Amino acid sequence: MSLLPSQSGSTAPTGAGAVGGGNPARALVFSGGELGPWAIAEIRPGDRLIGADHGAWFLVENGIVPDLAIGDFDSVTAEERHAIEEKSRQMEACDPIDKDYTDTELAVERAIAGAPSSITLLGVLGTRFDHSLANIHLLVKCAERGVPCRIVDAHNEIALVQPGAPQSVKRSRYANVSLLPLSLEVTGITLTGFQYPLTDARLTMGQSLGISNVLNGELGTVETKSGLLLVIQSVD
Rounded CA Rg of the chain: 18
Q: Say whether both 167 and 211 belong to one domain.
A: yes
Give, rounded to a whole angstrom, the gap between the first and last alpha carbons of the chain. Answer: 40
Mean pLDDT to the nearest integer, 200-229: 95
β partners of residue 135: none
Domain total of the chain = 2
Q: Say whether both 100 and 183 belong to one domain.
A: no
Q: Say whether both 136 and 183 belong to one domain.
A: no
Place 8 in a pLDDT band, splitting at 50, 70 and 90: very low
β partners of residue 231: 159, 179
Q: Say whether both 96 and 50 belong to one domain.
A: yes
Which pLDDT value is given to residue 95? 75
Which pLDDT value is given to residue 53? 95
205 burial via Cβ count (<10 Å: 0-12, 13-18, 19+): exposed
Q: Say whether both 133 and 191 belong to one domain.
A: no
Q: Say whether both 172 and 59 belong to one domain.
A: no
Which pLDDT value is given to residue 13? 38
pLDDT above 80: residue 16: no
Q: Say whether both 25 and 60 belong to one domain.
A: yes
Which pLDDT value is given to residue 1? 31
Percent of the chain with pLDDT over 70: 88
Question: 43 is in which domain, residue-wise?
Answer: 3-153
Contact between 173 and 215 under an 8 Å Cβ cutoff? The reply is no
Backbone φ and ψ of 81, nearest 5°: -65, -40
Strand order in the sheet with 176-181: 3-7, 90-94, 68-71, 48-52, 27-30, 119-122, 149-152, 156-161, 229-234, 176-181
Q: Say whether both 64 and 79 belong to one domain.
A: yes
Which pLDDT value is given to residue 21? 46
- Alpha helix locations (H) across the chain? 37-40, 54-61, 78-87, 103-113, 129-144
Q: Say whether both 17 and 101 belong to one domain.
A: yes
Query: Which of 153, 169, 199 finishes a domain?
Result: 153
User: Which has the minimum average pLDDT: 104-108, 148-152, 168-172?
Assistant: 168-172
β partners of residue 158: 151, 232
CA 107 to chain centre: 10
CA 13 to chain centre: 25
| Nearest alpha carbon to residue 233 among 177, 159, 149 | 177
CATH number at 75 reads 3.40.50.10240
Place 22 in a pLDDT band, splitting at 50, 70 and 90: low
Query: Which of 118, 138, 153 finishes a domain?
Result: 153
Q: Say whether both 148 and 168 belong to one domain.
A: no
Which pLDDT value is given to residue 90? 97
Q: What is the pLDDT of residues 112-150, one digit of tens each?
A: 999 999 999 999 998 889 999 999 999 999 999 999 999
Q: What is the pLDDT of residues 213-225, one digit of tens each?
A: 999 999 999 999 9
Q: Say whether both 109 and 143 belong to one domain.
A: yes
Q: What is the pLDDT of residues 47-103, one digit of tens each?
A: 999 999 999 999 999 999 999 999 999 999 999 999 999 999 999 998 766 566 899
Secondary structure letter of residue 30 according to DSSP: E
Q: Say whether both 36 and 124 belong to one domain.
A: yes
